[in-house]
């Protein structure tokens, strides 16, 4: 602790914030007042700011430090002159519940507030007038709110256990719940060159959605006769591949939805995972028949012999960033590394999980491998030695179905049968923030958007 406690409030302190220049601190309290403090000396600056009729839950400075904003249980927001402590305008009224959170836009032009009435309101910081319509969607009190650093988005956290992202200009939610699949989403993937996502499910079709509009793109891609277990875009975004319980792989035109060539046939049982090579020339597939196959994209022919060695179903596959290796995860509880040139297994199987391995992925620099398992854990491995790195990542209460690295390699995400998504620090293995909750079924598939700004999740609750 630096210095003595700052004393003066007569009831609980509910919110504090620094001024932009770091010279002052502002605090809001259950005693209905706001106080300003000298950050260096800890002494109170001027008299308490009085005017609210109930608890002050949230305080914030304007980006230029000239004003202080406060939100209260009296359902109002007040704007104060930071230097004089005088109210600048009449109270901002409109919320029908307590104002629990406020924030100022980076350019200082807007104030945003979250309330126990479950809504978010945007206000003109200069005039105090409401801007646009209510942002509605939360089902419980909005306790936390902030702007993104570029001011384009508003992020809100609620007692409904969700975080929502809103377009600050359009006053609309950025994320939409995409529905339409039955009986559940098995795989979701993001296009590398536009804001489309594709997903396959138990109804044997693939659907493509435009994330910006929330609308389906074209008709469902039909042709498989069993559940679609895995989908992946080609590196250039022009094609989409799918693996199905009907033991086939299909290639589709991403823009047209038309099948390209004949189905790739050779597996004797369902295809659980598919992936493109980084140069887009080859496809790999893993199957319930315990084998991995490589295919020539141009001809549709199998390349070489099947890769054999796993003692059970192959659930996950990935190429190394340099294309030299393939990793595979299996129900036999092991991960194997294969040389793409020779088709020979490299070293010994990676052992340590006590349940089937449902998902594997390489880090962007190719130095590490991550795996998610039925044993409820995630493991990190050194790609060159196969040795485990650190302890298992624990937190999920049921099987881990999907894992992925962020594009910059700093984060790991995991999706579980417990319905949650967890974010982990890739270096320390520590959990980052709270679990992302909202799905009501298995989180079967996860991926990052190419720019790393978003996480997409597909679940057995039939939503993305």
pLDDT at 211 (0 to 100) = 62
The answer for residues whose C-beta is within 8 angstroms of residue 434's C-beta and 6 or more apart is: none
Look up residue 150 and give its two tokens.
Answer: 């570029």
Tell me the longest C-alpha to C-alpha distance in the chain.
81
pLDDT at 59 (0 to 100) = 94
Residue 187 near residue 194 (C-beta atoms within 8 A): no
Rounded to two decimals, the pTM is: 0.62
DSSP tag of 346: P
* Confidence category of residue 155, pLDDT binned at 50, 70, 90: confident
pLDDT at 199 (0 to 100) = 75
Q: Does domain 185-459 have CATH number 3.50.50.60?
A: no
Tens of pLDDT, residues 56-78: 999 999 989 999 999 999 999 99
Q: Give me the count of residues in the chain.
A: 464
Mean pLDDT of the chain: 88
Residue 15 near residue 56 (C-beta atoms within 8 A): yes
Q: How far apart are CA 156 and CA 114, in angstroms?
A: 8
Tens of pLDDT, residues 306-360: 999 999 999 999 999 999 999 999 999 999 999 999 999 999 999 999 999 999 9
Report the CATH number of the 13-173 domain.
2.130.10.10
Q: How far apart, in Å, are the Cα atoms of 392 and each of 74, 98, 130?
A: 48, 43, 49
CA dihedral 399, 228, 165, 213 (to 10 degrees): -170
Tens of pLDDT, residues 33-56: 999 999 888 899 999 999 999 999
Q: What residue has token string 């509009």?
A: 213
Q: Where are the domains of the chain?
A: 13-173, 185-459
Residue 321 near residue 366 (C-beta atoms within 8 A): yes
Q: How far apart, in Å, are the Cα atoms of 183 and each of 188, 199, 201, 347, 416?
A: 15, 13, 7, 40, 17
Q: How far apart are CA 206 and CA 231, in angstroms?
A: 8
In the predicted structure, residue 182 carries a pLDDT above the cut 80: no
Tens of pLDDT, residues 91-147: 999 999 999 999 899 888 999 999 999 999 999 998 889 988 888 888 888 887 888
DSSP string, 254-272: TTT--B-SSPEE--SS-EE
13-173 and 185-459: identical CATH topology: yes
Q: How far apart are CA 158 and CA 137, in angstroms?
A: 10
Look up residue 422 and give its two tokens.
Answer: 């967890």
Torsion sign, CA atoms 298, 299, 304, 307: positive
Tens of pLDDT, residues 184-219: 566 667 777 666 777 777 788 888 877 666 677 888
> 402: part of which helix (H) or strand (E)?
strand 400-405
Tens of pLDDT, residues 250-274: 999 988 889 999 999 999 999 999 9
Residue 271 near residue 249 (C-beta atoms within 8 A): yes
């Amino acid at each position: 602790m630096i210095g003595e406690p700052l004393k003066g409030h007569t009831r609980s302190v509910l919110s504090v914030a620094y001024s932009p220049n770091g010279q002052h601190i502002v605090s809001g309290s259950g005693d209905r007042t706001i106080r300003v403090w000298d950050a260096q000396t800890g002494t109170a600056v001027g008299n308490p700011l009085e005017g609210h009729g109930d608890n002050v839950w949230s305080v914030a400075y304007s980006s230029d430090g000239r004003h202080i904003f406060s939100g209260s249980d009296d359902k109002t927001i007040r704007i104060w002159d930071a230097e004089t402590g005088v109210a600048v305008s009449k109270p901002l009224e409109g919320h029908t519940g307590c104002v629990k959170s406020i924030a100022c836009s980076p350019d200082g032009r807007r104030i945003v507030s979250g309330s126990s009435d479950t809504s978010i309101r945007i206000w003109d910081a200069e005039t105090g007038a409401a801007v646009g319509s209510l942002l509605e969607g939360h089902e419980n009190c909005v306790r936390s709110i902030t702007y993104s650093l570029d001011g384009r988005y508003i992020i809100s956290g609620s007692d409904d256990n969700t975080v929502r992202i809103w377009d600050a200009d359009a006053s609309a939610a950025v994320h939409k719940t995409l529905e339409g699949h039955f009986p559940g989403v098995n795989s979701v993937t993001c296009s590398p060159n536009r804001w489309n996502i594709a997903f396959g499910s138990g109804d044997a079709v693939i659907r493509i959605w435009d994330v910006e509009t929330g609308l389906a793109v074209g008709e469902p891609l039909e042709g498989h006769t069993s559940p679609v277990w895995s989908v992946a875009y080609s590196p250039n975004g022009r094609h989409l591949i799918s693996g199905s319980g009907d033991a086939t792989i299909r290639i589709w035109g991403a823009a047209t939805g038309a099948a390209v060539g004949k189905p790739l046939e050779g597996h004797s049982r369902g295809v659980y995972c598919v992936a493109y090579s980084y140069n887009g020339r080859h496809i790999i597939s893993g199957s319930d028949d315990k084998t991995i196959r490589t295919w020539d994209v141009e001809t549709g022919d199998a390349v070489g012999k099947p890769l054999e060695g796993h003692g059970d179903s192959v659930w996950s596959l990935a190429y190394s960033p340099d294309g030299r290796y393939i990793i595979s995860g299996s129900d036999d509880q092991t991960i194997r590394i294969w040389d793409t040139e020779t088709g020979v297994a490299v070293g010994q199987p990676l052992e340590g999980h006590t349940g089937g391995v449902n998902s594997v992925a390489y880090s962007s620099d190719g130095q590490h491998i991550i795996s998610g398992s039925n044993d409820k854990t995630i493991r990190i491995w050194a790609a060159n030695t196969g040795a485990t790195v650190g302890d298992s990542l624990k937190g999920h209460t049921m099987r881990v179905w999907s894992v992925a690295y962020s594009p910059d390699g700093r984060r790991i995400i995991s999706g579980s049968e417990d319905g949650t998504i967890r974010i982990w620090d890739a270096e320390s293995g520590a959990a980052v923030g709270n679990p992302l909750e909202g799905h009501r079924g298995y989180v079967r598939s996860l991926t990052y958007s190419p720019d790393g700004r978003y996480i997409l999740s597909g679940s057995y609750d039939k939503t993305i």
